[in-house]
Chain A
Amino acid sequence: MTIRTVLCLTLMALLAAPVHAQDRAAETKAWQSLAATLQPGTFIEIRMRDGTHFKGTFVQRRGDGMVVKPRTRVAVPAREIAIADVESIAPARQGMSPAKKVLLGLGVGVGTMALIGALAVAYAY
Chain B
Amino acid sequence: MAGITARRWLCRGLVTVGATLLATTASAQAGETVVRMPAWDASGNLAIHFFRASDLDGGDDHYYYDSEALAQPGAQVGRYVTSHLKVELGVRGPMQYTSYDTIHVPAPLPGGFAETWVDRRVRVVSFAPAITWQFFENTFMHPYVSAGVAVDLVDVHRFREAGTESYPLSRATVRYDVPGIDTRETVVKARPFFAVGSKSYFGNGRWFVRPEAEIGVVKSRIGTGSLRLGVGVDF
State how many angstroms separate the Cβ of B35 from the closest Cβ of chain A.
5
Chain A CB within 8 A of B140 CB: yes
* Residue pair B36, A74 in contact (C-beta under 8 Å): yes
The interface-forming segment of B52-60, B150-158, B203-211 is B203-211
Chain B CB within 8 A of A21 CB: no
- Alpha-carbon distance A100/B211, docked complex (angstroms): 12
Chain B CB within 8 A of A77 CB: yes
* Residue pair A103, B209 in contact (C-beta under 8 Å): yes
The closest CB in chain A to the CB of B36 belongs to A74
Q: Mark A53-84, 1 if CB is under 8 A from B, else 0.
A: 00000000000000000001111110000000
A binding-site residues for B, Cβ under 8 Å: 72-77, 97-103, 106
Closest 9 CB pairs of A and B: A98-B200, A73-B205, A98-B141, A99-B202, A97-B203, A72-B138, A99-B209, A99-B200, A102-B200
* Residue pair A97, B138 in contact (C-beta under 8 Å): no
User: Which residues of chain B come closer than 8 Å to A77, judged between CB atoms?
Assistant: 34
Chain A CB within 8 A of B38 CB: yes
State how many angstroms separate the Cβ of A26 from the closest Cβ of chain B.
34
Query: What are 5 contact pairs spanning A and B, CB under 8 A?
Result: A72-B138, A72-B205, A73-B205, A77-B34, A99-B209
* Residue pair B202, A97 in contact (C-beta under 8 Å): yes
Interface residues on B, range: 20 to 34
User: Which residues of chain B come closer than 8 Å to A102, judged between CB atoms?
Assistant: 198, 200, 209, 211
Contact of B138 among A74, A98, A106 (CB under 8 A): A74
The closest CB in chain A to the CB of B231 belongs to A99
* Residue pair A98, B211 in contact (C-beta under 8 Å): no
Chain A CB within 8 A of B164 CB: no
Residue from B36, B198, B205 having most chain A Cβ neighbours under 10 A: B205
User: Which residues of chain A come closer than 8 Å to B23, judged between CB atoms?
Assistant: none
User: Which residues of chain B come closer than 8 Å to A75, judged between CB atoms?
Assistant: 35
Residue from A76, A97, A100 having most chain B Cβ neighbours under 10 A: A97
Given A73-B139, A99-B200, A99-B209, 16 further pairs, Cβ under 8 A? A73-B205, A74-B35, A74-B37, A76-B34, A97-B201, A97-B202, A98-B140, A98-B141, A98-B200, A98-B201, A99-B201, A99-B208, A102-B198, A102-B209, A102-B211, A106-B229
- Alpha-carbon distance A106/B202, docked complex (angstroms): 15
* Residue pair A76, B202 in contact (C-beta under 8 Å): no
Chain B stretch 130-149: residues in CB contact (< 8 A) with chain A: 138-141
The closest CB in chain A to the CB of B211 belongs to A102
* Residue pair A76, B138 in contact (C-beta under 8 Å): yes
The closest CB in chain B to the CB of A54 belongs to B139
User: Which residues of chain B come closer than 8 Å to A76, judged between CB atoms?
Assistant: 34-35, 138
* Residue pair B211, A73 in contact (C-beta under 8 Å): no
- Alpha-carbon distance A100/B34, docked complex (angstroms): 29
* Residue pair B139, A72 in contact (C-beta under 8 Å): yes
